[in-house]
Chains A and B, each alone.
Chain A
Amino acid sequence: MPRVLLIEDDRAVREAVALALRRQSHEVCAAVTGEEGLELLRSFRPDVVVLDLMLPGMPGLDVCRGMRALDQTLPIIMATARGDDEDIVVGLEAGADDYVVKPVQARVLEARIRAVLRRAGGSPADAGIPKIDTYGDLAVDRAGLSVAWRGEPVALAPSELRLLLTLSASPGQVFSRQQLLQAVWEHSYHGDARLVDACVKRLRAKMGEPPREPRYIQTVRGFGYRFVSR
């Protein structure tokens, strides 16, 4: 039973979403404030967090950053009432794995939760062949789902890990943003490239890539991204 931590200040929304998720056989723990949510992180130990962005007291963005500081690999889905482009991009850059714009139907949220959980614990497409690929300073353990940079483990959020695994599985191949969106986030709808761009940005930062001349994940102007193994 996946454990979902729901942080939502509005009582009606909180109860409705909790009700819907429980019906989908999730174990739901609801928090009213960000502070409460951060506390529940230790005692409840959720598999996934659904985080409202507009919260009284501690803002949702700070809650997201705080959670990332405690646990790099915890899947976080942002639920935002503000669907403006800027809010979404800022939210993604704070470390969210995915986002939904309110109002959201329970089955859409459920699908996003399932997808993010698959990313966190599931097996990528080419798993089953236990091997560690080394690309210069970078070592990717496809079986153990871990990444090391100069021998030090790099903690990646589920989408970042999945993105790196997808790109590095076929070095040199150019993936369009649309392809990555489908492969990593399982988004069936078309065209939200901001997720991909924000995730690539975070991934590059964690891998210590120089921002102007990324070594591993390169932008192919007008097409998408590719992984270069050197």
Chain B
Amino acid sequence: MIAFALVAAVTAATTGALTFREARTGVLQQSQDTVIKLLRTHVDRLAPDLAFPPREPGLRQLATDVAAAEPAGTWRVLVVYGGLRATSDPDDPFEEVTPALRRAVDSSRATVFQRVSTGEHTSLVVGMSVTFAATGTGFAAASGIQVFLSVPQRTEAAYVDELVTAVERATVPALGLAVLLALLAARGVLRPVRALRRATRSIAEGRLDTRLAVDGSDELADLSHTFNETAAALEESVAELRGMEARARRFAADVSHELRTPLAAMSAVTDVLDEDADRLDPDTATAVRLISEETVKLARLVDDLMEISRFDAGAAVLHLDEIDLAESLRSTLAARAWTDRVDTDLPPPDTVRGRVDPRRLDVVVANLVGNALRHGARPVLLRLYGDGTQDRAVIEVLDSGPGIPADVLPHVFERFYKSDAARTRTEGSGLGLAITAENVRMHGGTVRAADRPEGGAVFTVELPLRRDESDPESVR
């Protein structure tokens, strides 16, 4: 917009300035040519009357006559011959004739002129040599007499002033008009471009129902049309994808939920089966124990599936409470009777406190430690420390097993990812680490897996220790 206006302004101003310069040069050139021509005529007419070699009264007479030849009476004339000098006005110091001008007249037979400014006035100073009439040699010889003329250029100055005023008068409205037109043109181009930019950004921010108002039939209108069509197509595709995703999520949740009722019946009697297995014949006992074990696994899998579908549906909620993380970690180990199987490196009570969801933290730690105990080898170390700023807590679970193969490492938090056939036979559902990652993510933290240089794997959880002032009782 500003660029448009600037271009218009510069164009108008330059045009004005150029016009002014050309006009001024023309005016001055014309007045100067007239003066030189007049002077030459007068000198040619009056010089032959002068006695040669001239004496001072003769020179004065010439000067006066030349000055008088111009009826306006604005001419001042100086006539010089060697050391003699005479002016049309007897007391005139004639300061305009500079030594440089005299030298120029000395060395040239042509007319020399100079525009001289003294204070506010500008004068045209003309100098010429008086020559003898051409002789047989064809050359005019210099007589040594020099005539200088000074004409004030008041009229020309006034004329130029008027010119400046005129140019100003013409340029300022032109300038205004040009800027106005430029702004209008800019509006015409820039407004649709800006609308397009806003619309693009709006789409990028997820407001897919953004459309542009199309008016006119130029290329910009075409572009807006195309944009609208693209946005409509995008909105349709995204709506379709979202619908499919929602149906898939609902299906997963429904399936898990429907599985619960038969599982509830089966789970209720697994203990009965286990107890009675001892009194049955070996084959039946094996079958009964198998059913019991698999029922427990199935129940856990359905639980995990429900949890995952809750994450996917965005139905998982954080119930934040400010707790001592070290105590929470100890409780997790104690509740699962892991205290003797896991080494701990925990800070003293109340040094690392933070607002977390205790139940979800428990799930995270239990999954990582359980994972280390199953897949890694002892010693397993659970470590907790605050980072330097006390803004984040770092929880590390280290094991001394074979570590995680490099090709598996990027996938460990994926659902149902099984690194090898052996792992499929373990009791995990294949969802534990995925649930862990989701729980950490809900807290705004990060979890990563790596191999330790000295062998074994390390899982690192970083949790922000939010301590805002919201009510800890707001558990919904």
Contacts and interface: CB of A to CB of B under 8 A. Distances in A.
Chain A interface bracket (under 10, 10 to 19, 20 to 34, 35 or more): 35 or more
Contacts of A13: 261, 264-265, 268
Interface string B435-476: 000000000000000000000000000000000000111011
Interface stretch (B55-63, B354-362, B391-399): B354-362
B211 interface: no
Contacts of B359: 190-193
Interface string B340-380: 00000000000001010011011000000000000000000
A103 B472 contact: no
A16 B310 contact: no
B328 A191 contact: yes
Nearest to B334: A190
B319 A194 contact: yes
Contacts of B321: 177, 193, 222
A104 B315 CA distance: 23
A10 interface: yes
A19 B260 CA distance: 19
Contact of A106 (B260, B271, B476): B271
A102 B475 contact: no
Interface residues of B, number: 44
Interface in A1-28: 10, 12-13, 15-17, 19-20, 23
Interface stretch (A30-38, A81-89, A124-132): A81-89
Nearest to A21: B268
B262 A12 contact: yes
B296 interface: yes
Contact of B472 (A16, A89, A106, A221): A221
Given A12-B265, A107-B271, A178 B331 contact: yes
Given A85-B476, A191-B359, A103 B263 contact: yes
Contacts of A178: 327, 331, 358
B317 interface: yes
A219 interface: yes
Contacts of A190: 328, 331-332, 334-335, 358-359, 362
Nearest to A10: B261
Interface string A164-207: 00000000000011100000000011111110010000000000
Contacts of A83: 303, 306
A109 interface: yes
Interface string A140-162: 00000000000000000000000
Question: Interface SS of chain B: helix, strand, loop or mixed?
Answer: helix
B266 interface: yes
Contacts of B306: 83
A81 to B, nearest CB: 5
Contact of B264 (A81, A85, A191): A81
Contact of A197 (B271, B299, B475): B475
A105 interface: yes
Specify which of A104, A176, A193, A223 lies most central, judged by the most chain B CB atoms within 10 Å of its CB.
A193
B11 interface: no
B257 interface: yes
Contacts of B353: 222
Given A16-B269, A190-B328, A197-B475, A10 B358 contact: no
B260 A81 contact: yes
B272 A106 contact: yes
Nearest to B318: A85
Nearest to B316: A85
A191 B362 contact: yes
Given A10-B264, A177-B321, A191-B328, A105 B271 contact: yes
Interface in B383-414: none
Contacts of A102: 260-261, 263-264, 267
Interface in A86-107: 86, 89, 101-107
B317 A85 contact: yes
Interface string A51-88: 00000000000000000000000000001011111100
Contacts of A15: 265
Interface string B234-266: 000000000000000000000001001111111
A137 to B, nearest CB: 24
A193 B272 contact: no
A15 B264 CA distance: 11
Given A16-B266, A103-B260, A178-B331, A219 B472 contact: yes
A104 B267 contact: yes
Contact of A10 (B265, B296, B334, B472): B265
User: Which of A191, A197, A223 is the most central at the interface, judged by chain B CB atoms within 10 Å of its CB?
Assistant: A191
B302 interface: yes
Contacts of A223: 322
A144 B267 CA distance: 39
B269 A106 contact: yes
Nearest to A83: B306
B270 interface: yes
Interface string B60-90: 0000000000000000000000000000000
Given A23-B275, A103-B302, 5 more contacts: A103-B266, A109-B268, A188-B335, A190-B328, A222-B353
29 contacts: A12-B265, A13-B264, A13-B265, A16-B264, A16-B268, A17-B265, A17-B268, A20-B269, A81-B257, A85-B317, A86-B317, A89-B475, A102-B261, A105-B268, A105-B270, A105-B271, A176-B323, A190-B331, A190-B332, A190-B334, A190-B335, A190-B359, A190-B362, A191-B328, A191-B361, A219-B472, A221-B471, A222-B355, A223-B322
Interface of A: 10, 12-13, 15-17, 19-20, 23, 79, 81-86, 89, 101-107, 109, 176-178, 188-194, 197, 219, 221-223
Closest 7 CB pairs of A and B: A222-B322, A12-B265, A103-B267, A16-B268, A103-B263, A102-B264, A103-B264
Interface of B: 257, 260-272, 275, 296, 299, 302-303, 306, 310, 315, 317, 319, 321-323, 327-328, 331-332, 334-335, 353, 355, 358-359, 361-362, 471-473, 475-476
